[in-house]
Chains A and B, each alone.
Chain A
Amino acid sequence: MQNGEDVKKALGKTAAYGSDIDIDRFDEGTYKPEQYENLEDAKEYKDRMTDVGMATDENNRSGSIIFIDNGMSHCSNKEQEGVELMSTNDARKKYDWLKDYYWTAVDPQKDKYTAKTYLEDSDGYFIHVKAGYAVKNPVQTCMLLNKNKSIQNLHNIIIVDEGASLEIITGCATSSHANDALHVGVSEIFVKDNASLKFSMIHNWNTETGVRPRTVAKMGKDAHFINNYVLLNPVGSLQSYPAALLNGEGSSAAFNTMCLSHKGSNIDTGGMVVLNAKKTSAEIMSRSIVKGGQIIARGRLVGNAPGAKAHLECRSIMIDDGGSSIAIPELEAHVADVEMTHEAAVGKIARDQIEYLMSRGISEDDAVSMIVKGFLSGSINGLPLSLKKEIDAAIEKANLGS
């Protein structure tokens, strides 16, 4: 456990990246939201949930956890024998061993957002897959920010035990009346030896919403982690820089980020993978479309062990003037036997490609949107089909033609 006084001091600590947000400006979030036995009954939130990839009928899902503001509103589980789903605070009461995980991946003193989450004893979702259990359908979690002018503090813990496998689809959304609000989500992820986790996140915030997730994944031997991050709608200020620590030999991580930056949005995304063990591999892939606003795509690979292999790619399409795109790829090696590469490209869509499609009778707008859809989702393997559909719908809505 941390020294509370030290953590309190960290409340004043500005984050390394992203604009500084005054957290005292926000009211406390709701802790006891309405409870829904059946997601179909959550009429008020249904559309928002669907927009971020939630299956409200829960078909083809192993289970669901819904948070509204700071409290759990729904929890269902079809895989009782292999999966445990509950709130983090319930799990802490139930399992003494959770202290071996709780605040061990993310440092509460990292910045003001983690400190706040620590001091609030924030709740969140707890997902545990038992050793050797392969969860067939994805678990879905949804974080709804409902109270305007409030701060949503969450602390999630995901443990995929030895030899187990899990896919999670997470949607984060603000309800239409909550615009000027702040979402802070700490996620501590543990993928044990020979286990795998695919984690896809899709977001739907509002034009003034502040978003500060803090995610760290610790990886065991031959463990694999794929992280898909999708942001297609306007956001106020988002700063996200998840990290994967490849501590086990032969482990791997892939961060795929797909962003569409709108006018007024300030986005700072990316990820870091630290290759601490032998024969680990990583891929950081960022694709962004800039219609306006500013997007910074960061990527950092740190090679600390022999045989480490990693690639980083930041690509960005500028649709119009008036926005900016900044790619910051970083490669860092501390041993000789590593192979790390990066590629970055920024530009507009080549005119000859648009006209080639137009020569088949396709309008300019449709040609641009076909190319953009392909650019965002076509190149990334393992994107859930439902997310691909959401991406296509959002691109259509964004009306990217000039």
Chain B
Amino acid sequence: MLEIKDLHVEAGEKEILKGINLTVKEGETCVLFGPNGSGKSTLLAAIMGYGTCKVTKGTIAFKGQDITNMTVDQRAKLGIGMMMQRPPNVVGVKLGDIVKVAGKGDDSAIKNAAKFKLNGFLERDVNVGFSGGEIKRSELLQLTAQKPEFVLLDEPESGVDLETIDLIGAKVHDLLYDPKACGVGNAVKRHVASLVITHTGQILDYIGADCAYIMRDGLILCSGRPMDLLKDIREKGYGECVKCRMVKM
């Protein structure tokens, strides 16, 4: 589904990603771990095609097409969606307007705003004065309308209370799993692939995960089973990870 080869990315005149190789298969959930500032958000932004990220070398392919030079909207139309950690305020543009346009005529998401606890938010300027949890729910409502085939989730559960995590977890689950396949909430077959950044791994309780990568200083240090890596990070911290890789090399 997504194949990244030797990706080098500059942001603000500085090389941030220094040769990333990463693959996400159809229907897979892959996790990105890594300390703050390692370049995880930059990688997601580069996949979405944001202008702040300049690809200097390497390629990104999606569904077999080279998307390295595509515009953001072209990528979105191909089926990539993103939940940003800190989306910008857009004064004058209402959340409802975005959800409406993203839904391309299907207004089921907008009607379900209440299920995202976003009553009264559709008429508000998007992200302006939204709390941390409101931003997450608004991002998920937009993505639900958009129906992407592959989602980039940047710390979907960070900075929100436990109750909100439950709601976010359920909504991310609905986004990834085909509700018709095995009944709502119980589906086993994922129809949407994703790349998820998480520090705590809490979101994985809701959506499961198939593979994981650890990033540091713009490089992928190792990959493995998500729960194994998470356990190592929890017990030994990222410092050990580096050593482990050194040994391997």
Answer whether residue B9 sits at the interface, using C-beta atoms and an 8 A cutoff.
Answer: no
Closest partner residue, chain A, to B97 (CB atom): A370
In contact, A359 and B77 (Cβ under 8 angstroms) = no
Chain B: interface residue total (CB-CB under 8 A): 30
Answer whether residue A355 sits at the interface, using C-beta atoms and an 8 A cutoff.
Answer: yes
Chain A residues with CB under 8 A of B102: 360-362
Answer whether residue B232 sits at the interface, using C-beta atoms and an 8 A cutoff.
Answer: no
Chain B residues with CB under 8 A of A103: none
Q: Which of A111-119, A270-278, A373-381 forms part of the interface with chain B?
A: A373-381
Closest partner residue, chain A, to B90 (CB atom): A353
Please tell me which one of the listed residues B72, B81, B125, B142 contacts residue A378 in the complex, with CB atoms under 8 A apart: B125
Please tell me which one of the listed residues B81, B84, B94, B97 contacts residue A356 in the complex, with CB atoms under 8 A apart: B84
Q: Measured between alpha carbons, how far is A376 from B82 in the docked complex, in Å?
A: 28
Chain A: interface residue total (CB-CB under 8 A): 25
Q: Measured between alpha carbons, how far is A353 from B93 in the docked complex, in Å?
A: 10
Closest partner residue, chain A, to B84 (CB atom): A356
Answer whether residue A364 sits at the interface, using C-beta atoms and an 8 A cutoff.
Answer: yes
Closest partner residue, chain B, to A315 (CB atom): B91
The minimal Cβ–Cβ distance linking B19 to chain A, given in whole angstroms, is: 25
Assess A361 versus B52: contact at CB under 8 Å? Given A352-B88, A356-B84, A371-B90: no
Question: In B57-98, which residues have CB < 8 Å from any A CB?
Answer: 71-73, 75-77, 81-82, 84, 87-94, 97-98
Please tell me which one of the listed residues A352, A364, A370, A375 contacts residue B71 in the complex, with CB atoms under 8 A apart: A364
Chain A residues with CB under 8 A of B90: 353, 356-357, 371, 374
Closest partner residue, chain A, to B86 (CB atom): A352
Q: Measured between alpha carbons, how far is A351 from B51 in the docked complex, in Å?
A: 8
The minimal Cβ–Cβ distance linking A343 to chain B, given in whole angstroms, is: 13
Answer whether residue B48 sits at the interface, using C-beta atoms and an 8 A cutoff.
Answer: yes
Q: Measured between alpha carbons, how far is A374 from B98 in the docked complex, in Å?
A: 12
Chain B residues with CB under 8 A of A357: 90, 93, 98
Assess A350 versus B88: contact at CB under 8 Å? Given A357-B93, A360-B146, A362-B102: yes
Assess A359 versus B92: contact at CB under 8 Å? Given A352-B50, A370-B97: no
Q: Measured between alpha carbons, how far is A364 from B73 in the docked complex, in Å?
A: 7
Question: In A155-204, which residues have CB < 8 Å from any B CB?
Answer: none
In contact, A361 and B92 (Cβ under 8 angstroms) = no
In contact, B92 and A379 (Cβ under 8 angstroms) = yes
The minimal Cβ–Cβ distance linking A224 to chain B, given in whole angstroms, is: 25
Answer whether residue A363 sits at the interface, using C-beta atoms and an 8 A cutoff.
Answer: yes
Among B77, B101, B125, residue most surrounded by chain A Cβ atoms (within 10 Å): B101
Q: Measured between alpha carbons, how far is A376 from B101 in the docked complex, in Å?
A: 20
Chain B residues with CB under 8 A of A378: 91-94, 125
Chain B residues with CB under 8 A of A355: 49-51, 72
Answer whether residue B236 sits at the interface, using C-beta atoms and an 8 A cutoff.
Answer: no
Chain B interface residues (CB < 8 Å from chain A) = 48-52, 71-73, 75-77, 81-82, 84, 87-94, 97-98, 101-102, 104, 125, 142, 146
The 9 listed contacts between A and B (C-beta, < 8 Å) are A352-B51, A353-B88, A356-B90, A357-B90, A358-B72, A359-B82, A361-B73, A361-B76, A374-B91
Q: Which 6 A-B pairs have the closest CB atoms?
A: A374-B92, A378-B92, A358-B72, A360-B102, A361-B76, A358-B73
**A362-B102, A371-B93 given; 19 more Cβ-contact pairs under 8 Å:** A351-B51, A352-B51, A355-B51, A357-B90, A357-B93, A359-B48, A360-B76, A360-B142, A362-B73, A362-B76, A362-B98, A373-B92, A374-B91, A374-B93, A374-B125, A375-B92, A377-B92, A378-B93, A379-B92
